[in-house]
């Protein structure tokens, strides 16, 4: 019985990647999706090493960026279903990372805010997240990373606005 490629005793060498279909490699959406999976996996692993999941990190980071928010506004800003956010908040509230209180301006609403412990953990996780991005994007120069981030942000912002941006926008010539 033969061994699969890369399973020899020479160590944890990575198996040679199978060639990808050239037609798919010509599609930016295919490339973006594949790259997103790689980056997402690196970030999930980095955050997971600290006992949290990515939605918990995103929630802590949004609260760090925006300050206390009504729970429904926080869900909308994160793009989370409101019922899912409630579950994420249950977990991090039990850990003492966030606090939910009644909004004094409207007692029907809950405000969510970081605790001091939550702010400290968010800061530590942010540093871990940055390191994971350094690893993920290590093949780029700093200028290339900045360009990539700018272009990706433009795509996200265009989607948020519901309108295409930029030039031509047609099929290939």
pLDDT single digits (tens) 27-37: 999 999 999 99
The whole domain housing 68 covers 29-160
Q: What integer pLDDT is reported at residue 164 of this predicted model?
A: 52
Q: What integer pLDDT is reported at residue 154 of this predicted model?
A: 94
Q: What integer pLDDT is reported at residue 91 of this predicted model?
A: 96
**Residue 12 domain flag:** no
DSSP state letters, 65-86: HH-SEEHHHHHHHHT--HHHHH
For the chain, residues with pLDDT lower than 50 are 1-13, 165, 167-173
**Residue 7 domain flag:** no
Domain holding 109: CATH number?
A: 1.10.10.10
**Residue 6 domain flag:** no
**Conformation bin of residue 97: beta by default, left when phi > 0, alpha when psi is -120 to 50:** alpha
Predicted confidence (pLDDT) per residue in 130-157, tens digit: 988 888 899 999 999 999 999 999 998 9
Q: Return the number of other C-beta atoms located less than 10 Å from residue 1's C-beta.
A: 2
**Residue 103 domain flag:** yes
- Angle formed at CA 172 by CA 168 and CA 173, multiple of 5 degrees: 95
Number of domains in the chain: 1
Q: Contact, 93 vs 99, CB < 8 A?
A: yes
**Residue 165 domain flag:** no
Rounded-to-integer distance, Cα 101 and Cα 33, Å: 38
DSSP 27: -
Q: What integer pLDDT is reported at residue 12 of this predicted model?
A: 44
Q: Contact, 122 vs 64, CB < 8 A?
A: yes
Q: What integer pLDDT is reported at residue 16 of this predicted model?
A: 79
Q: Contact, 97 vs 117, CB < 8 A?
A: yes
């Amino acid at each position: 019985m033969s061994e699969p490629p890369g399973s020899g005793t020479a160590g944890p060498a990575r198996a040679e990647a199978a060639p990808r279909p050239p037609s798919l490699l010509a599609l930016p959406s295919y490339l973006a999706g594949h790259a997103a999976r790689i980056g997402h996996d690196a970030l999930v692993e980095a955050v997971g090493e600290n006992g949290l999941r990515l939605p918990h990190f995103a929630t802590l980071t949004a609260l760090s960026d925006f300050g206390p928010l009504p729970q429904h506004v926080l869900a909308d800003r994160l793009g989370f279903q409101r019922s899912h956010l409630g579950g994420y908040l249950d977990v991090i509230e039990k850990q003492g990372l966030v606090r939910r209180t009644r909004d004094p301006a409207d007692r029907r609403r809950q405000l969510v805010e970081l605790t001091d412990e939550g702010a400290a953990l968010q800061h530590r996780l942010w540093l871990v997240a940055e390191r994971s991005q350094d690893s993920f994007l290590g093949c780029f120069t700093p200028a290339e990373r900045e360009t990539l981030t700018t272009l990706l942000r433009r795509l996200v912002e265009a989607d948020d606005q519901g309108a295409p941006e930029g030039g031509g926008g047609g099929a290939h010539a």
